[in-house]
Amino acid sequence: MSIIDPGPLLGPVEIRELAQRLDLRPTKTLGQNFVHDPNTIRRIVRAAELDETDVVLEVGPGLGSLSLGLLSLCGHLTAVEIDARLAAELPSTVAAHAPHRADRLSVIEADALALSAVPGPAPTALVANLPYNVAVPVLLHLLELVPSLESGLILVQLEVADRLVAPPGSKVYGIPSAKLAWYATSKRVGTVPRAVFWPVPNVESGLVRFVRVARPAAPADRPVSRAAVFAVIDAAFSQRRKMLRSALAGWAGSAARAEQVLLAAGVDPTARGETLDIDAFARIAAARSR
């Protein structure tokens, strides 16, 4: 990991000036809360553990605070921005504040959830201040869409951060936790106070770092797909308080069939979904195909 001074970053004055010039009024619909504290940006960039070989994918670069920090370390930055004004302005911001790094930037004006491909060099890391209202679906979509992603660091609502990294048996372990575990190991690496954002959100934020891992193995004669495993996860947590033989009855066709599948997978039919790790969900999906 390289340690490089990112140089001049955007502070509160620069953020306000840019917003006024663009006549920007941040909206909750787009989840627009911009980090205006340079020290927070430096902290995020350090926590991302990047080097010059990395191609970084950033979702929601906004006014470019984090983008400038990332460009000081990575070999290339691909920024996906849904707001047309911000997408058009970002290259100018980088050219003004880091002209010697401007050729490392690519901007895609798009909704990250609607992306079907990421043009340019294959991203190796996702680093983003994700809009709170779509953070989990964006993260899962990009992990599936971009298999070259090896690691990442995301800034999300603190409650979402805790859910993403929760282990089996935790009170907040659920669908986001299990589905992220299909792709990666994860941990919370810090919190971010609301005061460093403009406008100030109503909640604290958390930093989640993840590293991609091999997908859970299923028996060689019964390969299992992501869709099949995610269907089990959805069913198991749709009735969280119920035992798995009841919660999976609709998915399996009946409670009796669910019990058969669970026993074949080596899972206690009286257990609840919140106690299972991703390997157990994969075994259940594979057992149903027998």
Q: Where in the chain is the domain with CATH 1.10.8.100?
A: 226-288
Predicted TM-score (pTM) of the model is 0.92
Question: Which CATH fold topology does 12-212 show?
Answer: Rossmann fold (3.40.50)
What confidence tier does 6 reach under pLDDT thresholds 50, 70, 90?
low
Across the chain, what does the average pLDDT equal?
92
Residue 150 has which token pair?
Answer: 């090896």
Q: Where in the chain is the domain with CATH 3.40.50.150?
A: 12-212
Q: For 188-202, write each residue's pLDDT tens digit.
A: 999 999 999 988 888
Residue 283 buriedness (CB in 10 A; 0-12 / 13-18 / 19+): buried
Q: How many DSSP H helices and E strands does the chain contain?
A: 12, 9
Question: Which CATH fold topology does 226-288 show?
Answer: Helicase, Ruva Protein; domain 3 (1.10.8)
- Residue whose entry in the numeric block shows the structure tokens 């100030």: 200
CA-nearest of 178, 197, 199 to 44 is 197
CA-nearest of 197, 196, 208 to 160 is 208
What is the SS3 assignment for 28?
A: coil
